[in-house]
Amino acid sequence: MPKLPIPLSLSRMQLAEQLAASNLSTHPKRREKNSPGFTLIEVLMATAILGIGLMGVASLISQASVQDIRAGHVSCGSHLAEEFLENAARTQYSAQAFNALTDTKANTVINGVQFSITCTLADNTPVERCKEMTCTLSWNNSGSPASARYVYVLSPKF
């Protein structure tokens, strides 16, 4: 608090009046109504809006993570089905191997996920001497079953 020059000739009453007139006080001044800055309500509302927005972003990140895992399962399953169909396609060059093709079923575990593939053959489809192989791949996608279907036509090359 700044010191006021106190003339020796003033009484206590005159000193109090001079102090009040100089507008000095030990209490800080209150803000004027139109002063710049934010009120507590404005800060709380901004915080609430920001919180709602951040919860939405967190939800999107969670869903993206689930879809990323699903895409990984589909990719592994597609690779498995591709290997299976390529092995069947090799039989097209040998009459004995081609005629010996039958329906097949296989199970395998990739990265802790159980994949099951079932392939059925249809003779003389879509044209005579050809075989249509339909493979159904299924797996458990984080608690819900998922599947994909692949169709391949094998024609004799001999």
d(CA 154, CA 100): 13
Element containing residue 50 per DSSP (H, E) = helix 40-89
20-29 pLDDT tens trace: 666 555 555 5
89-147 pLDDT tens trace: 999 999 999 999 999 999 999 888 899 999 999 999 889 999 999 999 999 877 789 99
d(CA 141, CA 114): 10
pTM over 0.75: no
Tokens of residue 45, six digits: 């509302």
Instruction: Read off the amino acid at residue 100.
Output: A
